[in-house]
A and B are shown apart, each in its own frame.
Chain A
Amino acid sequence: MNAEFDVRYTAGLARLHLSEEEIAKFQAQLSQVLEYVEKLKVVDVSHVEATAHANPVFNIVREDEPRDWFTPQEALANAPRQVNGLFSVPKVIE
C-alpha cells in the first residue's frame, strides 16, 4: 500500500471529477496496481539510459509551407458550442 497515493488529489491534477464511490474504489484498485509495480524498484538501472520510444530518430520536422487543410467551418463542425465562427469557452477571467 502506497500511503502517499491519493486519488482525490490526483483527480484534481487531472481535471477529473469523481464520485465518492469512484474515489474509494479507484483508491483500492490502483493501490493494488502500484503495489504490483513496486517490483521495478529491485532492478539496477544505475547505468541505463531511458527509452522514450523504440526508434532513435530526433527532431523530425516538415517543411513549414502553407497547404490546404480544414476550413473554419470544418474545424468548428464538431464543436459542442460555437459563437460567430469561434469556439465558445467558459468565462475564465472576471
Chain B
Amino acid sequence: MSLTSLSVAELQTQLRSKAVSPVEALEALESRIAAVDGSICGYLARDYQRALAAAKCADVNLPLGGVPIAIKDVINVQGEQCTCGSKMLKGYTAPYDATVITRLKAAGAIPFGRVNMDEFAMGSSCENSAYAITHNPWDLSRIPGGSSGGSAAVVAADEAFAALGSDTGGSIRQPAALCGCVGLKPSYGRVSRFGLVAFASSLDQIGPFTKTVRDSALLLNAISGRDPMDSTSLDEPVPDYTAQLGRDLKGVRLGMPREYFVGGTHPQVDKAVRDAIAHYESLGAEIVEISLPHTEYAVGVYYIIATAEASANLARFDGVRYGHRTAEAANILEHYGKTREEGFGAEVKRRIILGTYVLSSGYYDAYYLRAQKVRTLIRQDFTTAFEKVDAIICPTSPEPAFKIGDRSDDPMRMYLADIFTIAVNLAGICGISLPCGFAQVEGKPLPVGLQLIGQPFRETELLKIAHAYEQSTEWHKARPAIS
C-alpha cells in the first residue's frame, strides 16, 4: 500500500511513530499528483514550496499535525489564488485566511493545493469551471460530480489525504458519492462561512471530503464552532466527533422516506442502497418507513431561493475592488454590464437572471416569499420525521456519474440530479454520503453513494451510524485503477 492511499488517521499513526516525516508525506503526495493529475485535472494550482516550508516545522502531535489538505478554490487561503472556477477572479490573491483555514492551521494541518469546481459553486458536474474539466477517477470519460468535483476526485485518486469543499444543494455529498469517498455537509451554523466566497448564504456550508468516516470526524473536530466573524455560526458546544465511533447500533432507528423510493432512480443505485439498508438491519438498526410529504417541491424552492441569494451575492462583482474589469466603457452602466458579461460564464449568468427575476418588483411574493414558506413546510417534514427516527437513509444521487458533455446545456435536467440532497440544505440539517457499492456501467464500476441525514447539530450520531456501516463493509477500501 502506498503512502498516499493512507487515510488521515493512518497517516497520523505513521507521522507520530516517526516512520514517516511530514516532508516525506508531502513529497509522496506531490509525486502522486505529478503522476496522475494530468489525467484527473483536479488541481488548479498548488504551491509546493510553501507547503514544504510548513511541513518542515509541522508539529505532528497537534490534532491534524503535518497533514496536507486540498482546498476547494472558493475558500480563501492568504497569499493563494481563489478563482471560484471563474474568469471573474482570475489573478485574484486572497488577502486573508478563511476561518476554517485559520482553524486547520491551528490544528497543524497544511493547506495544499487549490482544487477545481463549478464556477461559483453552481453546477453538479464541474463542467462549469472556466479553467478545467475534472475527470472521474473511476472512468475518465465521466464527470466527478459537482460543484466540489475537484475535492472529490483528488481524494478518490489518492492525490490528497483529505479536502475541504462547500455544499449549497449537494455540492459535497453528490461528488463524494460519484467518486466513492466520504463527504459531510455539517448542519447550517456548525462551521463558519467567513472566507468562503458566498453563493447562497442561507444554504452554504463548508465540509470535509475524506477516505473514511473517522477522518471526516477528525476534520469536523478542527473546523467546527462559533466564529464572531460569521453571525450565522452558532454557539453550540463542539463535541469530540470521534468519541461515539464504534458504538453499536442497537436501538438506532433509520427512516426510509417513501417519497425517495418511488422509481426514477437508476436500478443499480436503488439496489445498492436497498442492500445497505438490509445491512443496517443486520447490524441491529430498526428500519422505519417515513414520509417527507413536501419532497416534490424541494428542487423548485431551491432554485428560487439559491438563485435569489446568488444574484444578490454576485452583485459585488462590479470591476472596482477586485476581479475582472472591462477594458473600455463609455459610462458606468456599460462598465458594469460588460465587466459582468466578460467575467461570468453561462450558468452563473442564467442563475443571476433567474434570481433577479424572482426578487424583482411584482414577482417577489409569488416566487421568493412563497418559496420561503414552502421551505418552512420542508423543514417541518424533517422535524416530524425525526420524532420517529434517529437518521434518514436514502441514495445520495439518483444515478452514477454521467458522461462529460452529456447534459451541460440542459440546465433543468442538471438541476433534477440534486433531488435527494437539496432538502437537507433547505432544512439546515446535516448529511453525509459514504460508499455503498458500485453500478456496472459500460464495463466499468461506478461508485454509488449512500446518504444518511441527521438532526441539526447531531453530527456525532450521524458519524456513528455511518462508521458502523463503513467498518462492516469493504466499499471504502476500493480504489480506482488510474492509468
> Which residue in chain B gives the minimum CB-CB distance to A59?
B231
Tell which of B60-68, B278-286, B329-337 binds the partner. B329-337
Are the C-beta atoms of B356 and A13 separated by less than 8 Å? yes
> Which residue in chain A gives the minimum CB-CB distance to B410?
A29
Chain B nearest CB, measured from A28 CB (Å): 10
Query: Which residues of chain B from 176 to 191 have a CB within 8 Å of any chain A CB?
Result: 187-189
Are the C-beta atoms of B456 and A54 separated by less than 8 Å? yes
A-B contact pairs, 22 of them (CB 8 A): A14-B315, A14-B340, A15-B336, A17-B341, A19-B341, A29-B412, A30-B350, A30-B353, A32-B411, A36-B300, A36-B303, A37-B300, A37-B367, A43-B373, A48-B377, A53-B202, A53-B428, A77-B95, A78-B91, A78-B93, A78-B323, A80-B322
A60 at the interface (CB under 8 A from B): yes
Are the C-beta atoms of B322 and A51 separated by less than 8 Å? no
On chain A, the residues within 8 Å of B341 by CB distance are 16-19
B370 at the interface (CB under 8 A from A): yes
On chain B, the residues within 8 Å of A81 by CB distance are 325
Known contacts A11-B353, A14-B356, A37-B367; is-contact A29 B411 (Cβ 8 Å): yes
Chain B nearest CB, measured from A8 CB (Å): 10
Q: Which of A40, A74, A78, A87 makes the CB contact (< 8 A) with B300?
A: A40
Are the C-beta atoms of B353 and A51 separated by less than 8 Å? no
Complex CA–CA separation, A29 to B93 (angstroms):
35
Known: A10-B353, A91-B332. 8 other contacts (CB 8 A): A17-B338, A17-B340, A36-B300, A49-B376, A52-B202, A53-B202, A54-B428, A60-B231
Are the C-beta atoms of B92 and A78 separated by less than 8 Å? yes
A79 at the interface (CB under 8 A from B): yes
Complex CA–CA separation, A87 to B321 (angstroms):
7
Complex CA–CA separation, A50 to B371 (angstroms):
8
On chain B, the residues within 8 Å of A74 by CB distance are 95
A45-86: CB near B (< 8 Å → 1, else 0) gives: 100111111110100111000000010001101111100000
How many residue pairs link A and B with beta carbons under 8 A? The number is 170
Known contacts A15-B336, A16-B353, A55-B234; is-contact A48 B373 (Cβ 8 Å): yes
Q: Which of B189, B319, B322, B371 makes the CB contact (< 8 A) with A40?
A: B371
B460 at the interface (CB under 8 A from A): no
Chain A nearest CB, measured from B220 CB (Å): 18
Complex CA–CA separation, A15 to B336 (angstroms):
6
Q: Which of B234, B294, B300, B340 makes the CB contact (< 8 A) with A15?
A: B340
On chain A, the residues within 8 Å of B202 by CB distance are 52-54
- Chain A's interface: helix, strand, loop or mixed, by majority? loop
Complex CA–CA separation, A54 to B354 (angstroms):
23
Are the C-beta atoms of B376 and A80 separated by less than 8 Å? no
Are the C-beta atoms of A26 and B374 separated by less than 8 Å? no
**Closest A-B pairs by Cβ, 10 of them:** A54-B428, A80-B325, A50-B372, A53-B202, A17-B337, A78-B322, A60-B231, A45-B373, A17-B341, A15-B336
> Which residue in chain A gives the minimum CB-CB distance to B311?
A14
On chain B, the residues within 8 Å of A92 by CB distance are 332
Q: How many residues on the B side are at the interface (Cβ–Cβ under 8 A)?
A: 71
> Which residue in chain B gives the minimum CB-CB distance to A37?
B300
Are the C-beta atoms of A33 and B372 separated by less than 8 Å? no
Q: How many residues on the A side are at the interface (Cβ–Cβ under 8 A)?
A: 51
> Which residue in chain B gives the minimum CB-CB distance to A46?
B373
Are the C-beta atoms of A62 and B376 separated by less than 8 Å? no
Are the C-beta atoms of B294 and A43 separated by less than 8 Å? yes
Chain A nearest CB, measured from B3 CB (Å): 37
Complex CA–CA separation, A14 to B372 (angstroms):
22
Are the C-beta atoms of A16 and B189 separated by less than 8 Å? no
Chain B nearest CB, measured from A3 CB (Å): 13
Are the C-beta atoms of A80 and B324 separated by less than 8 Å? yes
Are the C-beta atoms of B352 and A14 separated by less than 8 Å? yes
> Which residue in chain B gives the minimum CB-CB distance to A43?
B374
On chain A, the residues within 8 Å of B96 by CB distance are 70
B420 at the interface (CB under 8 A from A): no
Are the C-beta atoms of B321 and A40 separated by less than 8 Å? no
B475 at the interface (CB under 8 A from A): no
B375 at the interface (CB under 8 A from A): yes
B10 at the interface (CB under 8 A from A): no
On chain B, the residues within 8 Å of A57 by CB distance are 189, 231-232, 234
Q: Which of B201, B332, B353, B428 makes the CB contact (< 8 A) with A90?
A: B332
Are the C-beta atoms of A16 and B340 separated by less than 8 Å? yes
> Which residue in chain B gives the minimum CB-CB distance to A22?
B349
Chain B nearest CB, measured from A43 CB (Å): 5
Are the C-beta atoms of A33 and B303 separated by less than 8 Å? yes
B427 at the interface (CB under 8 A from A): yes
B304 at the interface (CB under 8 A from A): yes
Are the C-beta atoms of A50 and B412 separated by less than 8 Å? no
On chain A, the residues within 8 Å of B350 by CB distance are 26, 29-30
Chain B nearest CB, measured from A57 CB (Å): 7
Are the C-beta atoms of B320 and A79 separated by less than 8 Å? yes
On chain B, the residues within 8 Å of A62 by CB distance are 228
Complex CA–CA separation, A54 to B185 (angstroms):
14
> Which residue in chain B gives the minimum CB-CB distance to A7?
B353
Chain B nearest CB, measured from A44 CB (Å): 9
Q: Which of B201, B320, B356, B374 makes the CB contact (< 8 A) with A10?
A: B356
On chain B, the residues within 8 Å of A15 by CB distance are 315, 318, 333, 336-337, 340
